[in-house]
Amino acid sequence: MKNKYLTKIGFYIFLTIFLLIIIFPFYYEFLTSVKTPNEIFSSFNLIPSTITTASYKLVFTARPFAKFLWNSFVISGITTLFSIAIASFTAYAIARLKFKGKTIVLGLVLAVSMFPQISTISPIYMFMKTMGLRDTYAGLVIPYITFALPLAIWNLTTFFKEIPFELEESAKIDGATVLQTFRTVILPLAAPGTFTTAILVFIAAWNEYLFALTINTKDIRKTVPVAISMFQGQYTVPWGEIAAATIIVTVPLIAMVLIFQKRIVSGLTAGAVKG
């Protein structure tokens, strides 16, 4: 009994330390965002002596940060919609239909996802330049879809495989076509997995940096990660503004995950157990 009690205490101590390690960087980022410039460079206080929102105001007044947020939202949203739409049909075909070469298709999808971005940026840049798509939303949506599709296809294929084939056969007996079965039977049952995949794709597109840095160079088309990396002061690095901008773009993602955490968990575990 005593050993069990000590084990429980040890577990909670370990959990507390683990959470502190995980949360501390975000906490210190927040502290930096509400400190005055003098205190940022002169102290390492975990509790600021003066709290100010000046950095948050400067993020939107000194720079077109609202435009950067809009660019990221539009690009990430369009990427997510197209990726989920294409991946849904592809994953359905791989998981539910019988045809030769399914293993090869999945292998190719995996192979594409293995290419590092730095090895593909040059041909993609030349293509976008030739097609006149630099500094446009489409110029980023197209390459974003290339790395989002493998993720979406792999996830959705797993979810579609776990749906009982008897439901699909019943729909076919009732006279439903393949497309009708996909729309009325498969998609509703795979909704948790689809929702989870959509969130993962959106976050991946939101955080992407290399393509956004290379293809869209005009300020009016920059996305949030690139814009934050370009923050510059006249004589020093504006760490307060960088921290404030980081908090602004991170909080919505955290809020989205917390709000939809039940759907995310159910989606992530839907394909884990056959049943």
Question: In angstroms, rounded to a whole number, what is the distance separating the alpha carbons of residues 32 and 43?
Answer: 11
Residue 245 lies in a domain: no
Q: What is the pLDDT of residues 156-195, one digit of tens each?
A: 888 888 878 777 778 778 777 778 888 888 888 888 788 8
Residue 175 lies in a domain: yes
Residue 263 lies in a domain: yes
Name, in order, each residue with C-beta under 8 angstroms of 55's C-beta and a sequence gap of 6 or more.
33, 34, 238, 240, 241, 243, 244
Does 199 lie in the same domain as 149? yes
Phi, psi for 76 (deg, rounded to 5): -65, -40
Does 201 lie in the same domain as 122? yes
Q: What is the pLDDT of residues 4-30, one digit of tens each?
A: 777 888 888 998 999 889 888 888 889
Q: Look over the chain and give the mean of its residue pLDDT values, rounded to a whole number.
A: 84
Q: Are 164 and 189 in contact (CB under 8 A)?
A: no
Does 40 lie in the same domain as 117? no
Extract the tokens encoding 121: 């940026």
The CATH number covering residue 100 comes to: 1.10.3720.10
Say what the pLDDT of residue 273 is: 47
Q: Are 122 and 214 in contact (CB under 8 A)?
A: no
Does 141 lie in the same domain as 97? yes
- Number of other CB atoms surrounding residue 233 within 10 Å: 13
Does 159 lie in the same domain as 212? yes
Does 223 lie in the same domain as 98? yes
Q: Which of 12, 148, 162 is nearest to 76 (CA)?
A: 148
Does 88 lie in the same domain as 118? yes
Q: Determine whether 156 is exposed, middle or buried from the number of CB atoms within 10 Å of its CB (0-12, 13-18, 19+).
A: buried
Residue 59 lies in a domain: no
Q: Determine whether 164 is exposed, middle or buried from the number of CB atoms within 10 Å of its CB (0-12, 13-18, 19+).
A: exposed
Does 172 lie in the same domain as 120? yes
Residue 119 lies in a domain: yes
Does 135 lie in the same domain as 107? yes
- Number of other CB atoms surrounding residue 46 within 10 Å: 9
Residue 239 lies in a domain: no
Long-range pairs of 229-233 with CB within 8 A, sequence gap ≥ 24: 231/63
Q: Show which of 27, 52, 77 is a domain's final residue.
A: 52
Does 170 lie in the same domain as 48? no
Say what the pLDDT of residue 274 is: 46
Question: In angstroms, rounded to a whole number, what is the distance separating the alpha carbons of residues 203 and 269?
Answer: 19
Domain that holds residue 13: 2-52
Does 7 lie in the same domain as 35? yes
Residue 43 lies in a domain: yes
Does 219 lie in the same domain as 139? yes
Q: Quick one: angle between helices 239-259 and 54-61, nearest 10?
A: 90
Q: How many domains does the chain have?
A: 2
Range in 14-23, 96-105, 259-268 the model is least confident about? 259-268
pTM strictly above 0.85? no
Residue 237 lies in a domain: no
Extract the tokens encoding 251: 């909080």
Q: Are 163 and 192 in contact (CB under 8 A)?
A: no
Phi, psi for 255 (deg, rounded to 5): -65, -40
Angle (CA) 11-13-18 rounded to 5° is: 95
